[in-house]
Amino acid sequence: MIDVQSFEDDREIPLTKVGVKQLRYPVRVLDKANGTQHTSARVDLFASLPQHFKGTHMSRFIEIFHRYKDDLSMPRFLDMLGAIRDALAASAAFGRMRFPYFIEKRAPVSGLAGMLSYECCYAGRVGEGGTRFTVSIAAPVSTVCPCSKALSERGAHNQRGIVRVELELGPFFWIEDIIDLIEKAASSPVYAVLKREDEKWVTEHGYDNPKFVEDVVRDVYAALRSLGRFPRFTVEAENFESIHDHNAYARAEYAGNASAA
């Protein structure tokens, strides 16, 4: 049959990326407690296109991803991109996979279990210039405002927020360990199930541990840097303010021996 995509193109314009976006697919990733877990991903897959090719073969992206879907550990994600690059004779292949990662958390006093969802993302590139792979993790947290606590005779305003980290892959790590690190930097973790005794603990624990977004970012940054495992990383925190009509935000970046920016 005629393969139109392989026809010659004479406009001499190479394309940096061609491929598929917003592919929704069931996948399996590593899970520290259970070995693996099934989840559902939104996937973008691309390859570079030489100037002499009219188009790429879109179906090959899906064919290759399907072969890897049941074992998408961090190293295997790069293997999958390498397979795409080889199949399409491309100088580089790129991919991003966003997925909810579920962890069973127990309430701090009652011990009742519930499932919490954390938004994660793998992003990678495999090409002539080498490989690059990052993992992004977003964890919900609770913070109590230090200023409100210092000013008020009774109570202090608190709010839920999101802390996001993006880590350039060095040695292998578990997503659960990074989430634990993030939650320890907040005023309090967020839970799926709370009885009255748990709510009391969360309220008092947060009140005794007030944090600005700046504090959270700096504490997460310091904890990640102390691990000595990531060549580069970013940390950002966003509070959904309970008494303001805006969100509070802070960010820091680490690259080698550079300080926060």
**Taking the domain 1-98, which CATH number applies?**
3.10.270.10
pTM beyond 0.85: yes
Task: Tell me the C-alpha distance between 126 and 91, whole Å.
Answer: 9
The dihedrals phi and psi of 253, each to the nearest 5 degrees, come to: -130, 145
Structure confidence by residue, pLDDT tens digits, 236-245: 999 998 888 8
pLDDT value at 177 more than 60? yes
What is the pLDDT averaged over residues 39-45?
Answer: 97
What per-residue confidence (pLDDT) applies to 16? 85
What per-residue confidence (pLDDT) applies to 57? 73
pLDDT value at 119 more than 90? yes
pLDDT value at 217 more than 50? yes
Contact between 129 and 91 (Cβ < 8 Å) = no
The domain limits of the chain are 1-98, 129-261
Q: Which CATH architecture has domain 129-261?
A: Roll (3.10)
Common-topology check for domains 1-98 and 129-261: yes
Q: How many CB atoms lie within 10 A of CB 176?
A: 16
The dihedrals phi and psi of 51, each to the nearest 5 degrees, come to: -65, -20
Q: Is 143 exposed, middle or buried (0-12, 13-18, 19+ CB in 10 A)?
A: buried
pLDDT value at 259 more than 50? no
